[in-house]
Homo-oligomer: A and B are copies of this chain.
């Protein structure tokens, strides 16, 4: 099946994926490797923290969200990479075993000036709990292949 190209991304369109959950084992394993703050490792320490209970590292929630985005959208697209993330807000603690859905809004897009074979797609991605309230809110840009670059189309 043909992959999604720059032309297929529609400004103003919205997409929902999931739910998926983060398990306690995944949360603790990630924390051991990358973010060993006690509130991500230990129930007692987490109770006394701002998070109020064992919760995933904010960085882990980003990685988890990207995995959902990759499996549902990026792996099906002519993706070329990303220049970076505009903003990430960690709004609420992410506890183990809570169903999380991913909501993507395509904000805007533009052709690359220097590389006609590439376009930039700006999107807002939110991970939301069962009550629909976001736990992570992120705006970023994807680099997506153009199906018919202007040079080629003009031949």
Name the contact of A58 in the complex, choosing from B80, B82, B90 (C-beta under 8 A). B82
Distance in Å: Cβ of A75 to nearest Cβ of chain B: 7
Q: Which residues of B contact A15 (CB under 8 A)?
A: none
Flag if B88 contacts A85 (CB, 8 Å): yes
A59 to B39, CA, bound (A): 22
A87 to B141, CA, bound (A): 12
In the complex, A63 has a CB within 8 A of chain B: yes
Distance in Å: Cβ of A145 to nearest Cβ of chain B: 10
* 28 residue pairs from A and B, CB less than 8 Å apart: A33-B63, A34-B63, A34-B64, A34-B67, A34-B70, A35-B66, A35-B67, A37-B70, A37-B74, A37-B79, A49-B80, A49-B81, A50-B81, A58-B81, A58-B82, A59-B62, A59-B63, A59-B66, A62-B62, A63-B63, A82-B90, A83-B90, A84-B87, A84-B89, A85-B88, A86-B87, A87-B87, A88-B88
